[in-house]
């Protein structure tokens, strides 16, 4: 593919946020170029979350990107909370007016969006490293990037940084123009992928004195499981047998057995919350992990990114069609309302379910009281369910 030099919207990053934004804008007739520093194989193999909120699934369907999701994805109508040797189900449709979530791996979402992008012929450049972002306070910002051994300059009207926490996008905003908020948690997640059918029909969130555990899945044949471990844990200290034994212990309830099988992937992920404000500086907009990080307990990372770019696509569409900047000017404030709601929910789920190091008896009793209330109160269960399935997604009506 030739290296383009002019476009309406330049998108940095071909993760789910950048690809979905490019797809939504293409459908509205807005020229875009998507630049990704990694190769296609890496992007399509990169393992991340696999829980899609109702709104995320809806926007994929509405944009023509949901066919394979509806064929291969797994609709889930609830989650199971396990603590103190018991099990408690939270029924999503009953508590949220029929809403649910979809289990469909991020790798598959990315594959679907890449296939659609390539089918349209719209520019998608892999192994295109952005070297500099300039002119974001003017009317014609530029990206300098390296592709196929040569450096190029891309001039555009708008730049959207969907390039993750460590990307060049947020770093291109003057530090004096950003305010950041961060919380680092005193534990990490040890995650495994295993070639074994799930031992549950819906996700299990387990609180145990030895630490949190989560049973998820990718497909009817592949399980995804997690264990709370210390933040500086050595992965070599966890042979497969130890992982399975610890998962069985932490999720144990009478009459239930955890199925085990070959582990195909194992990793440790740190836990943090992060928000950068505002999510816009001049003609540069931040979306997804470039602007915010949530701990994975609430399954919000991918969904926040999808909400950001759906909102941004609606704002850019109105600007493109009518020259109206109202939604663009409101983008940061509108997106941050949802971001902070998701941050609070993810924080509450994380602190309710994890066992902090050196937890004192008073805090343990408070934690148990919150778990018991959530399991026994319809109001508390409704709050969890509404946040888990996701708030209504803004911007969809603009993209119809």
Q: Which residues contact 337 (CB under 8 A, 6 or more apart)?
A: none
The whole model's pTM is what?
0.95
Per-residue pLDDT of the chain (400 residues; tens, 9 = 90+): 567 899 999 999 999 999 999 999 999 999 999 999 999 999 998 877 789 999 999 999 999 999 999 999 999 999 999 999 999 999 999 999 999 999 999 999 999 999 999 999 999 999 999 999 999 999 999 999 999 999 999 999 999 999 999 999 999 999 999 999 999 999 999 999 999 999 999 999 999 999 999 999 989 999 999 999 999 999 999 999 999 999 999 999 999 999 999 999 999 999 999 999 999 999 999 999 999 999 999 999 999 999 999 999 999 999 999 999 999 999 999 999 999 999 999 999 999 999 999 899 999 999 999 999 999 999 999 999 999 999 988 777 777 6
- Architecture of the domain delimited by 9-75+102-181+272-356: 3-Layer(bba) Sandwich (3.50)
Measured in degrees and rounded to the nearest 5, phi and psi for residue 219 equal -145, 175
397 and 100 in contact (C-beta within 8 Å)?
A: no
Q: What is the CA radius of gyration of the chain?
A: 21
What is the distance between the alpha carbons of residues 304 and 378, in angstroms, rounded to a whole number? 26
Q: Cite the active site residues.
A: 76, 205, 296, 300, 388
What is the distance between the alpha carbons of residues 330 and 318, in angstroms, rounded to a whole number? 13
95 and 386 in contact (C-beta within 8 Å)?
A: yes
């Amino acid at each position: 593919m030739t290296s383009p030099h002019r476009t309406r919207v330049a998108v940095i990053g071909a993760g789910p946020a950048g690809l979905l934004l490019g797809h939504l804008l293409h459908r509205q007739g807005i020229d875009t170029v998507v630049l990704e520093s990694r190769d296609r194989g890496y992007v399509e193999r990169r393992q991340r979350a696999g829980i899609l909120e109702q709104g995320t699934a809806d926007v994929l369907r509405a944009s023509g990107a949901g066919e394979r999701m509806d064929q291969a994805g797994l609709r889930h109508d609830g989650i199971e909370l396990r603590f103190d040797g018991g099990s408690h189900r939270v029924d999503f449709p009953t508590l949220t007016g029929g809403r649910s979530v979809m289990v469909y791996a991020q790798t598959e979402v990315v594959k679907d969006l890449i296939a659609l992008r390539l089918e349209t012929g719209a520019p998608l450049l892999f192994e295109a490293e952005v070297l500099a972002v300039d002119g974001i306070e003017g009317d014609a910002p530029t990206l300098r990037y390296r592709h196929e051994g040569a450096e190029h300059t891309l001039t555009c009207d708008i730049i959207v940084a969907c390039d993750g926490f460590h990307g060049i996008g947020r770093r291109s905003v003057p530090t004096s123009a950003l305010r950041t908020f961060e919380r680092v948690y005193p534990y990490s997640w040890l995650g495994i992928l295993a070639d074994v059918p799930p031992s549950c029909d819906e996700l299990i969130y387990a609180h145990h004195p030895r630490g949190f555990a989560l049973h998820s899945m990718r497909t009817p044949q592949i399980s995804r499981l997690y264990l709370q471990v210390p933040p500086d844990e050595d992965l070599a200290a966890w042979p497969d047998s130890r992982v399975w034994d610890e998962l069985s212990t932490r999720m144990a309830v009478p009459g239930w057995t955890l199925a085990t099988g070959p582990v195909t992937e194992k990793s440790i992920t740190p836990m943090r919350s992060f928000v950068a404000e505002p999510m816009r500086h001049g003609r540069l907009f931040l979306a997804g992990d470039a602007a915010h990080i949530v701990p994975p307990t609430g399954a919000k990372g991918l969904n926040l990114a999808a909400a950001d770019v759906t909102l941004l696509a609606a704002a850019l569409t109105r600007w493109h069609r009518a020259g109206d900047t109202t939604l663009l000017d409101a983008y940061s404030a509108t997106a941050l309302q949802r971001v902070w709601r998701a941050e609070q929910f993810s924080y509450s789920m994380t602190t309710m379910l994890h066992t902090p190091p050196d937890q004192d008896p008073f805090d343990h009793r408070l934690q148990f009281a919150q778990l018991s209330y959530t399991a026994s109160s319809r109001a508390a269960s409704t709050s969890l369910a509404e946040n888990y399935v996701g708030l209504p997604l803004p911007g969809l009506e603009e993209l119809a």
